[in-house]
Amino acid sequence: MDNQVFKIVLTPALIGAASVAGRRWGPLVSGWLVGLPFTSGPVALFVALEHGESFAAAVAAGTLGGTISQAMFCVVYGRLARRWTWPVAFVASSVAFAVATAGLYALALTAVPLAVAAVGALGAAIRLMPVRTESHAAARALPRWDIPVRMGVATAVVLILTTAAPILGARLTGLLAPFPLYAAILTVFAHQLESPAAAIGVLRGLLLGLFSFAAFFFVLATMLERTGITLAFALAVAVALGLQAGTLALLPIRATAR
């Protein structure tokens, strides 16, 4: 299958499946699900296929560093959500992501210190997130165009990033790839249609899921040039799914009628 067609088919399928599952089990689970690299994982695969293992390994290292930027996004949005509307929280958290990304770009760390920093950042972010003590209002019926729009936006991001990769360079492509676009959409919808507590729930779930995200890109960054694309991605998927299964035990899952 042509890579461009593959991008258009795979990405919306993954995002659509995560949307349906999140709608069934609530905001915490939806955030946890998108901790998996549904968008940045395909970006890394397409970059590897189109530009080679060395370039893709550098992208993976940058994306691993982007875990720290995502943690910053979550903390800032979570802290502002109860006092401000979603546009203010979203803009502020996006600025925090950009600042963290600029700092990481300047530091140019390798995979091992990035992995240590990412795990530390996620642990700190979980502690800094506000506790969901309020009970959120019953969810309203979501519009029918909700999931198709999410799928379309995620697909557009994959297409844009993979097309612009040679211009942006490997490290900057990797740092931009993990912008939590899909998580932000889930968070904003939860904030607007349910409550600030629901938005915070999405972000807390995301932080738990990001441990598997970081593991996925650590494996790619360290194994792509050694083992090649097929084995490196197989190992990365196995490790990520194993960690994701482990964090599932931390989620209070309850089926929700949607």
Q: In Å, how far are 2, 47, 90, 93, 175 from 62, measured between CA atoms?
A: 26, 13, 23, 20, 5
pLDDT of residue 208: 92
Long-range CB contacts for residues 118-121, cutoff 8 Å, separation at least 24? 118/64, 118/65, 118/67, 118/68, 118/71, 118/210, 118/214, 119/211, 119/214, 121/67, 121/68, 121/71, 121/72
pLDDT of residue 125: 95
Which residue type sits at 189? F
Q: pLDDT tens for residues 80-105?
A: 998 999 999 999 999 999 899 888 88
pLDDT of residue 215: 95
CA distance 257 to 149: 21
pLDDT higher for 244 or 33? 244
Classify residue 171: in a domain, yes or no.
yes
Q: How far is CA 23 from the centre of its chain?
A: 17
| Domain of residue 156, residue span | 3-132+144-248
Closest CA to 70 of 104, 43, 26: 104
pLDDT of residue 3: 56
How many independent structural domains does the chain possess? Answer: 1
Q: pLDDT tens for residues 185-228?
A: 788 878 887 789 889 988 999 999 999 999 999 999 999 999 99
pLDDT band for position 20 (cuts 50, 70, 90): confident
pLDDT band for position 136 (cuts 50, 70, 90): very low
Classify residue 98: in a domain, yes or no.
yes
pLDDT of residue 16: 77
Per cent of the chain over pLDDT 70 is 84
Classify residue 257: in a domain, yes or no.
no
pLDDT band for position 142 (cuts 50, 70, 90): low
Q: How many CB atoms lie within 10 A of CB 217?
A: 32
Classify residue 31: in a domain, yes or no.
yes
Sign of the torsion formed by the C-alpha atoms of 142, 147, 152 and 158:
positive
Classify residue 153: in a domain, yes or no.
yes
pLDDT of residue 155: 78
pLDDT band for position 241 (cuts 50, 70, 90): very high
Most confidently modeled range among 4-13, 65-74, 165-174:
65-74
Classify residue 139: in a domain, yes or no.
no
